[in-house]
Chain A
Amino acid sequence: EAGVAQSPRYKIIEKRQSVAFWCNPISGHATLYWYQQILGQGPKLLIQFQNNGVVDDSQLPKDRFSAERLKGVDSTLKIQPAKLEDSAVYLCASSAGRRFLSGANVLTFGAGSRLTVL
């Protein structure tokens, strides 16, 4: 099966500019996640979608970050305006939810989009 696709892989922008990241999850996966991973740290959840509805966006900096998942498939994450501290890898993941054989929720991640803000 095809994996989680993300683009672009790399992006360099100046502070106060805007950027958008795109994610295409595994076909049939209802749940989609965006994580932020700062260098040297583990991934931190930004937002979780169930189909096209938001389940959890408590850690999304809503003054500058936005995300949408139209039609419950692809998703975009936007940052506007970017700050220096937004430099990170943005990871998209998808899952079928707690319907895996053993009942656990297993995520499949994309390779990530590396953002550098100058």
Chain B
Amino acid sequence: DAKTTQPNSMESNEEEPVHLPCNHSTISGTDYIHWYRQLPSQGPEYVIHGLTSNVNNRMASLAIAEDRKSSTLILHRATLRDAAVYYCIGERDQTGANNLFFGTGTRLTVIP
């Protein structure tokens, strides 16, 4: 598995940027880095993914270290609706079989 390590919890003030770190030192060169988030009482929701270059979408940005051993999910302006558990996942490059393994994630608290 492409194991990942994340802090258990983080806090952010509303309308400020949030940087959620993830270490994935065992990731291989062809493993994608995914981020999902899970709001209370809902299933996980896809946020963003990347391989080598930094990525942006309407939800967030993903900054990937040059050596690919770590990445950071950036929420540019945290809102109360962003309070969730954020999972960083290394997608194992294995055609066909399941390749997304969830850890325990980072619980983000947004303070009004």
Binding site for B on A (CB under 8 A): 4, 33, 35, 40-45, 48, 50, 55-56, 91, 93, 98, 102-112
Contact = CB atoms under 8 A, between A and B. Distances in A.
6 contacts: A42-B87, A55-B96, A56-B97, A105-B100, A107-B100, A111-B41
Chain B's interface size range is: 20 to 34
Contact of B49 (A50, A104, A110): A104
B2 interface: no
A54 to B, nearest CB: 11
Contacts of A102: 32, 49, 51
Q: Which 4 A-B pairs have the closest CB atoms?
A: A109-B43, A42-B102, A104-B32, A48-B98
Contacts of B29: none
Nearest to A4: B43
Contacts of A108: 46
